[in-house]
Amino acid sequence: MPGTTTLDLDTSSFKGSISINTGLFIGGKWCDPVDAHDHAEIINPSTGKKIMVISLASSKDVDLAVKAAHKAYKTSWGFKCPGKERGKMLLKLADLLERDADQFAAIEALNVGKPYHVAKAYDVMGAVEYIRYFGGWADKNQGNVIETNEAKLAYTRHEPFGVCGQIIPWNFPLLMMSWKVGPALATGNCIILKPSEMTPLSALKFAELVVEAGFPPGVVNIINGYGPVVGQAIAEHPDIAKVAFTGSTLVGRKVMEASAKSNLKVVTLELGGKSPTIVFDDSDLDQALKWTMQAMYANMGQSCVAGSRVFVHEGIYDEFIQKFSAMVQGLGQTAGDPFSANTMHGPQVSQVQFDRIMGYIDSGKSEGATVHTGGERHGTEGFFIKPTIFTDVHPEMKIVKEEIFGPVAVVLKFKTEEEVIEAANATTYGLSCCIFTENISRGIRVAHALENGSAFINSAQLVDHGVPFGGYKQSGIGREHGEYALSTYTQVKGIHVNLGIRL
């Protein structure tokens, strides 16, 4: 039988014990993998030391989860469970998550290295609000009556896919889970969710709340495993009708390929970015600096919307870079224990990500860019990197072209609006952008000209559960958030009722 591990935490922000199941959550029960030989050590990125060990699944467990999900869909979910009831369960789930917010924040601080207070306010409360929002949608998923002729009643029904696969990453484990789970369950789908093998702990704890909230067995299945094993098995499964993926563009392609080669399941992708932040010379500089910091360094730069290319008008460049550098150094000085109330900068999530980011920093140096600030590890333990600024960069450098997914900004100078629009659009990505100007006409004009799924004028990262979120170009397919997310979890049926045409 699968076990549990109890984590005893005695930190300055959280004191208490958290028990976590180490097995797979399939059909409403905890179970061991069919082939019980694969395990993963879960690492604390602040220390590099082991937190606990969890079981890993294989494709055989995916098969079992898919069967459990289909059974639930046919007997107790989808149209078998009225939207009003689904909504009640989602609202209860949100309440339970809010009740346990301290525990979830502690798990994200321990497993991901997020500052505890940020994890609580942003990740956990963001997930609570997200699930609550979609609880509200569960009984409002309506089709339309379509005017045709007097002899016909024609209408549409928005029907769930049935069983959906969901593959999520490690940068916002709980929040990304809520982005996937909320709209899928609101619209009546059953799910097989695979967390990242590095950061599964909040998902395992979440499964307990799914039971407590009263969801029928098999509606939510959570299975840990490696991407090329369990993720791939989900992507190519013939009985999964839709897969939603968040992660790298490289793996996003593999998910599409697996769908094309199997059953043409519907695929939605939320992928990488190299988002521009544009600071015009008429901006409120103090505010622009604060938001630019947030856009770039929140979550240690491990954010798909990170504003990692900072374009600054030549008229304010010197003042901007001097103030920006001082602020970035100040952030670096807060690096340390995620449970300390003063910490604003934690570690990168893993040794692999640490090495990848240091590789980019080395490449920037060897291609001739200047390290203005940072550019090295912080401390001797864990995976900490100092918040970094590169200047003297040009568009062909790897650090300007590729997603670094770490606390590394490149700062470029521009002269004209036309020139900066062209430079900002010169990327294969198109997720998000930030524009700072006190001229709102210019702000809107530039926002419309930039090839991105989201544009923030005089702010950054303020994603909202009601406003669609997703990528242009190679940053993704489909939209999360708001009513738009419902359409990615439903298929539309047109129904024709003959009221009098006789042959």
Ligand X SMILES: NC(=O)C1=CN([C@@H]2O[C@H](COP(=O)(O)OP(=O)(O)OC[C@H]3O[C@@H](n4cnc5c(N)ncnc54)[C@H](O)[C@@H]3O)[C@@H](O)[C@H]2O)C=CC1
Residue numbers at the binding site for ligand X (CB under 6 A): 167-171, 194, 196-197, 227-228, 231-232, 235, 246-248, 251, 254-255, 270-272, 304, 356, 403, 405
With binding defined as CB under 6 A, does residue 454 bind ligand BAL?
no
Q: Which residues of 150-189 are buried (b: 16+ CB within 10 A; e: fewer)?
A: eeeeeeeebbbbbbbbbbbbbbbbbbbbbbbbbbbbbbbb
Name the one range near ligand BAL by CB under 6 A: 104-112, 193-201, 301-309, 482-490: 301-309
Nearer to ligand BAL, 44 or 303 (CB): 303
Q: Which is nearer to ligand BAL, 196 or 391 (CB)?
A: 196
Q: Which does 235 bind (CB under 5 to 8 A by kind): ligand BAL, ligand X, none?
A: ligand X
Does residue number 127 form part of the binding site for ligand BAL (CB under 6 A)?
Answer: no
Structure tokens that stand for 269 in this block? 């992708």
* Residues belonging to the chain: 503
Residue 124 as a binder of ligand BAL (CB under 6 A): the answer is no
Contact 407, 351 (CB under 8 A): no
Alpha carbon distance 18, 105 (integer Å): 11
What distance in Å separates the CA atoms of residue 344 and residue 9, rounded to the nearest whole number? 20
CB of 429 to ligand BAL, least distance (A): 13
Q: How far is the CB of 299 from ligand BAL (least distance, A)?
A: 7
DSSP-assigned letters across all residues of 235-283: HT-TT--EEEEES-HHHHHHHHHHHHHTT--EEEEE-----EEEE-TTS
Which helix or strand (DSSP H or E) is residue 360 part of? Answer: helix 351-366
How far apart (Å, rounded) are the C-alpha atoms in residues 503 and 501? 7
Question: What is the C-alpha to C-alpha distance for residues 2 and 14, in angstroms, rounded to an integer?
Answer: 27
**Residue 305 lies near ligand BAL (rule: CB under 6 A):** yes
Catalytic option among 197, 236, 270, 403: 270
Residue 99 makes CB contacts below 8 A (sequence gap 6+) with none
Residue among 137 and 383 whose Cβ is closer to ligand X: 383
98 is catalytic: no
For residue 170, the minimal CB distance to ligand BAL (Å) is 10
Which DSSP symbol is given to 215? Answer: P
Residue nearer to ligand X on the CB measure, 191 or 255: 255
Contact present, 434 and 295 (Cβ < 8 Å): yes
The alpha carbon of 44 is separated from its chain's Cα centroid by a whole number of angstroms, namely 20
Cβ-count burial 411-425 (b if 16+ within 10 Å, e if not): bbbbeebeebbebbb
Q: Which residue has the tokens 């979609």?
A: 134
Q: CB-wise, 33 or 87, nearer to ligand X? A: 33
Q: Which of residues 266-285 bind ligand BAL (CB under 6 A)?
A: 270
Rounded least distance, CB 302 to ligand BAL, Å? 7
Using an 8 Å Cβ cutoff, are 332 and 387 in contact? yes
**Among candidate residues 39, 42, 71, the one with its CA nearest the CA of residue 55:** 39
Residue 54 or 305 having the CB closest to ligand BAL: 305
Residue 390: contacted member of ligand BAL, ligand X, none (CB under 5 to 8 Å, by partner type) = none
Instruction: Say if CB 214 and CB 89 are below 8 A apart.
Output: yes
Question: Does 490 engage in binding with ligand BAL (CB under 6 A)?
Answer: no
42 touching ligand BAL, by CB under 6 A: no
Distance of CA 99 to the CA centre of its chain: 23
Interface region with ligand BAL, contact rule CB under 6 A, candidates 123-131, 211-219, 297-305, 488-496: 297-305
CB contact at 8 A, 97 and 131: yes
Q: In the stretch 5-34, what mask flags binding to ligand BAL with x, by CB under 6 A?
A: ------------------------------
178 near ligand BAL, rule: CB under 6 A: no
Instruction: Residue 278: name the closest of 400, 373, 419 by CA.
Output: 419
308 lies in the binding site for ligand BAL (CB under 6 A): no
What is the Cα–Cα distance from 13 to 499, expressed in whole angstroms?
Answer: 67
Q: Quick one: what does residue 305 bind among ligand BAL, ligand X, none, with the CB cut-off 5 to 8 Å set by partner type?
A: ligand BAL
In this complex, which beta carbon is closest to ligand X, that of residue 100 or of residue 270?
Answer: 270
Single out the segment in contact with ligand BAL by CB under 6 A; choices: 18-26, 31-39, 49-57, 303-311. Answer: 303-311
Partner touching 271 among ligand BAL, ligand X, none, CB below 5 to 8 Å by kind: ligand X
Determine the size of the site formed for ligand BAL (CB under 6 A): 7
As measured in angstroms, the least distance from the Cβ of 480 to ligand X is 11
Quick check: 172 binds ligand BAL (CB under 6 A)?
yes
| Residue with Cβ nearer ligand BAL (171 or 488) | 171
Nearest to 13 by CA among 101, 96, 99, 94: 101
Contact flag: residue 452 with ligand BAL (CB under 6 A): no
Residue 384 is encoded by which pair of tokens?
């900490």
The residue from 304, 357, 358, 446 that contacts ligand BAL (CB under 6 A) is: 304
Q: How far is the CB of 303 from ligand BAL (least distance, A)?
A: 4
Minimum CB–partner distance for residue 454 and ligand X (Å): 13
Restricting to residues 213-252, which ones interact with ligand BAL according to CB under 6 A? Answer: 246
Binding site for ligand BAL (CB under 6 A): 171-172, 246, 270, 303-305
Instruction: Give the catalytic positions in this structure.
Output: 270
